[in-house]
Amino acid sequence: MKKAVVALGGNAISPPGEIDSITNQFKHTRKSLDAIINLLQQGILPVITHGNGPQVGNAAMRTEITSDLTPYIPLGINVADTEGGMGYMIEQSLQNRLRTEQIDRDVVTIVTQVEVSADDPSIEDPSKYIGPALSEEEAHNGAKRFGWQIKPFEKGLWRRVVASPQPIGIVNARVIQSLVDAGNIVIAAGGGGVPVYRDERGNLEGLDAVIDKDKASALLAEEIQAETLYILTAVPFVALNYGTPDQEDIEHLTAGEARRLLKEGQFPPGSMGPKIEAAIRFLEGGGKQVIITSLDAVRKDTTGALGTILTL
């Protein structure tokens, strides 16, 4: 079978505008698996990654609300906790679906450490918003109590900001590759993985930060020598002039064209930009193709080709 990394967006499991209960998360997880089964039936062995934005924000909020009663849990542990919990949901749901479909594959979740540089500039100047929008007074109180770094968000509102360093290595890459090469379906690098760095002795240390899920997925795909990276998002195609009357869906892009359009500002940093950066990285690192499309498109399409296809 062909190897592919399939990056599910965090909103695939926790859509906006809905109560983020575990029951609802399981419901949406099961629905998302139509796409995974479709790929398996096409002879594609998926390594599944996923976002955790809504979930890690909720986990951080819970630890702040209960900080007078239980020990404060740092962000890095919240990332690991949500990676494990969401991995369990995907793993169990997929095991049940594979049984129904009579597909004989084992599924395993790896809580994945992802290495970053201790000198990454985002650590000194964090800009990734997490958690709810707060009044200026509430945000400063949180900063004083919990050591947050905060920045203005929208008019009259502030939010906590954290570092989002670039991933430079998948610590668990060899074991993930061995599991995939043996025919197993692996769930890994959830939420971008747990950020770690090397200290002066070369030992791993945790970092309170978050890593972009698509960039971590691209690096994982490169390190396990996957042929294809699927980045599943809310739209079926990458578009020029997105959200305007002149919007134009793109079916094919080269890495060079994507880089040019990125520099021209076609792909904003808060939405499509990181996905395009991840695609370029994967292709220039030896990957064959990237498909950026929606979960629904992969669920319905039997060729695996619907969406924007990027090649070198």
Does the residue 62 lie in any domain? Answer: yes
Q: Using one digit for the tens of pLDDT, what is the confidence trace for 155-196?
A: 999 999 999 999 999 999 999 999 999 999 999 999 999 999
Does the residue 147 lie in any domain? Answer: no
11 has catalytic annotation: yes
Q: Give the pLDDT confidence score for residue 302 in this predicted structure.
A: 62
300 has catalytic annotation: no
Q: What are 196's two structure tokens?
A: 């770690």
Does the residue 158 lie in any domain? Answer: no
Q: Which of 142, 213, 287, 304 is catalytic?
A: 213
Q: Using one digit for the tens of pLDDT, what is the confidence trace for 69-79?
A: 999 999 999 99
**What pTM was computed for the model?**
0.94
**Could you tell me the pLDDT band of residue 11, with boundaries at 50, 70 and 90?**
confident
**Could you tell me the pLDDT band of residue 45, with boundaries at 50, 70 and 90?**
very high
Does the residue 20 lie in any domain? Answer: yes
Does the residue 49 lie in any domain? Answer: yes
Q: Residue 304 pLDDT > 60, yes or no?
A: no
Q: Residue 4 pLDDT > 70, yes or no?
A: yes
Q: Which of 3, 11, 24, 169 is catalytic?
A: 11
Q: Give the pLDDT confidence score for residue 175 in this predicted structure.
A: 98
pLDDT above 90: percentage of residues in the chain: 84
Q: Which of 128, 131, 142, 304 is catalytic?
A: 128
Q: Using one digit for the tens of pLDDT, what is the confidence trace for 135-161?
A: 999 999 999 999 999 999 999 999 999
Q: Residue 303 pLDDT > 70, yes or no?
A: no
144 has catalytic annotation: no
Does the residue 149 lie in any domain? Answer: no
Q: Residue 287 pLDDT > 90, yes or no?
A: yes
What's the rounded Cα separation, in Å, for the pair 33 and 31? 5
Query: What range does the domain containing 34 cover?
Result: 2-114+169-311
How many domains is the chain partitioned into structurally? 1
Q: Using one digit for the tens of pLDDT, what is the confidence trace for 97-126?
A: 999 999 999 999 999 999 999 999 999 999
Q: Which of 52, 57, 193, 275 is catalytic?
A: 275
Report the mean per-residue pLDDT for the chain.
94
Does the residue 164 lie in any domain? Answer: no
Q: What CATH number should be reported for the domain holding residue 52?
A: 3.40.1160.10
